[in-house]
A and B are shown apart, each in its own frame.
Chain A
Amino acid sequence: MSILITKDTTFIVQGITGREAVSLTRENLAYGAKIVGGVTPGRAGRDVYGVPVHDCVRDITAKTRVDGSVVCVPPRFTRDAVFEAIENGVRLIVVVTERIPRREVAQMVELANLRGARIIGPNCLGIISPGEAKMGGIGGPAEDTRKAYAKGPVGVMSRSGGMTTEIANTLTAAGLGQSTAVSIGGDAIIGSTYAELMPLYEADPETKAIAIYSEPGGRMEAELAEWVAEHRSRLPIVAFMAGRFMDEMPGMRFGHAGTIVEGKADTTTDKIERLRNAGISVAERIEEIPDLIRQRLAEAV
């Protein structure tokens, strides 16, 4: 099994005729995804790698079951595109676009919560359930994706799209596949945090352990630490914390929009302490992750 997507998940691509969207459509199709339509206003009647293009989301949802949407439109149109997907009954929305102001992200999240939809991102590369399907640019071309990702027991969550693949690749090379890897996004406010995705992994019998990639800034790690402590999770978690040099450079933004040290709780030192106190292993280097996971799995038996 997996979380969020399987080979049967049907989805659309909003903004499908854009440069980035065209390549992710090709890559997702080549990896086995069921893309049932695309949307670019004014371009109805065309197709992208055989995927028909429509003007509105409802033109597709009226005739076909649509489980998800990849939103890949410029920042100033993103909120409208996400609202359109939600109001037409789409329940899983991957927002690839970056540089969306926080207020608009908050509005998307609030509407999604009202309607029972889930947002992944913004500023993310999407979701992959290796061997099943992928949704978004994660892993790149299908042949590269197959090199880095393999089916297996580890759930991966990462604030960095690129590091999602780096970690999966390290796990795969060590013989540990992944159930589902989620690039959750690098912004200060995102649709789904580590703690919000944990119940899904918890409920997935194939997932046996979790690997996360983390950065300075925000309270997402503290939230995860609290969730783990409260729920007595069955899943051992191994975390990697990048950007340790930033602890000495308050007020400077590096990497992603959400990555800035403004107070003590933003520092890697503080986060590492919180994670460790909750029983989460913190790897010093990426290459230690597979061994730490094996250790934790052995202890659990």
Chain B
Amino acid sequence: MRFYEHESKALFARQGLPLGKSGLARSGDEARRIAAEIGAPVVLKSQVLSGGRMKAGAVKFADTPDAAAKAFDAILPIVVNGQRAESVLVEEKSPIAQEYYVGVTWDGRRKRPVLIFSDMGGIDIEEVAEQHPDHVSKTHVSTLLPFTPRLAKEAVGATGVTGPELNRLTPIAAALVEVFLRYDLTLAEINPLARLDDGRFVVLDGHVDMEAEAREIHRKLLEEIGIRPEETRQARPPTDFEIRGAQVDAADHRGVAGNVVEFDGNLGLVIGAGGGSLTLFDAVRQQGGRPANYCEIGGNPSVQKACELTKLVLSKPGVEKIAVMMNVVSNTRVDIVARGVVKGCVESGRDPAETIAIFRIPGSWEDEGFKILKKYGVEYCDRSVSMYEAAGKAVAKLSAGGTT
């Protein structure tokens, strides 16, 4: 879950990382007031969950409070990589002598956090690593042993930095590792970290990602920073359909019937489980179908949950039929899902036989499930029909109906 720049900096401030004076503006007047309070030239930065702000023109400098208000009005409407800003960070402009990079992330192969440091900041770190490997160090950190600053010192020193810079950078890099570990982050990045003309260091731009699984653990912190529980912070904001999908899943603790993602096709999907859904979504597309949605059922959801998910998918404009498909199931019961989707069709005022293009869920309790489907005249198939073939049957029914 990505943080906005101002939220990342609020988190950094708790760890004592050096920051410039700043304030968050939601209007031109606020920008003017903040700039006046700072009393020096400022930089205004659009708050979006994306890089590329500078390129898009969403970062501007202003020497006076009035110029700051003007810059605010110019920045706010700019869409950066599909992201619209609601606020602008107004920050004191710093005279920079040199830029550095400090980042902490997970190394999935070593299964440890890795501290990445470079004395060539301000640009893409992967590019620096490729072109100037001597200027990038990577230092792995234990999650069991207490973290002590000598690892940060070694990380900084490995790029050739010495003297007072080494001694000033070490606590900054160490603090970033501490932030990363304390708050279950998946990325903590300062780029650039600036050395000013007077020798002080200041965090110019920061980026933080928190692990979704840890949101509950850090609920109080998120509340204080102003991140609301319903904010998904995915690459795009959730649609109403997706929000209703999350409500279906949350209404009942038994099993999963959620992770709904909206697409613009005509074939509704009630599919599962995690890997099965990925496989089936691909299969529908490879067979020439146009999915109306992605979703995941699994972990043996209740009849009601499967029913509500079915109703949700059928409520989406343009959905002609649904395909109910999973991999061979072990702990989800076929009969329970069958009962749920049939009920969902009936409660939506639709004939299950007409509406369910195909039902392909083999596995536990399949005989009981198939009995229910037979009774309602729904076409089903067992494990002798592959996931790909089942997707093909569903797609064929839509085309045969001539309504695409």
Contact = CB atoms under 8 A, between A and B. Distances in A.
A278 interface: no
Contact of B211 (A23, A101, A250): A101
B388 interface: yes
B181 A252 contact: no
A122 B281 CA distance: 25
Interface in B348-404: 362-364, 383-384, 386-389
Interface of B is mostly: mixed
A193 B111 CA distance: 11
A240 B330 CA distance: 20
B101 interface: no
A125 interface: yes
Interface string A206-236: 0000000101001110010000000000000
Size bracket, chain B contacts = 35 or more
A286 B386 contact: yes
Given A140-B329, A162-B298, A188 B282 contact: no
B241 interface: no
Interface string A147-161: 110000000001111
A205 B27 CA distance: 71
A205 B82 CA distance: 54
A275 B285 CA distance: 23
Contacts of B363: 140, 144, 148, 165
B281 A245 contact: yes
A186 B364 contact: no
A101 B329 contact: no
Interface of A: 20, 23, 75, 99-103, 105-107, 109-111, 114, 125, 137-141, 144-145, 147-148, 158-163, 165-166, 169-170, 173, 186, 188-189, 193, 213, 215, 218-220, 223, 240, 242-246, 249-259, 285-287
28 contacts: A75-B213, A101-B217, A103-B211, A106-B112, A107-B144, A110-B142, A110-B143, A110-B144, A137-B331, A139-B330, A141-B330, A141-B364, A160-B278, A160-B327, A161-B273, A163-B275, A165-B329, A166-B328, A188-B108, A220-B109, A242-B278, A243-B281, A245-B281, A251-B234, A252-B234, A252-B236, A257-B212, A287-B388
Given A138-B330, A242-B282, 17 more contacts: A75-B213, A101-B184, A106-B143, A160-B276, A162-B276, A169-B362, A186-B275, A193-B109, A218-B108, A246-B278, A252-B234, A254-B277, A257-B212, A258-B108, A259-B274, A285-B386, A287-B389
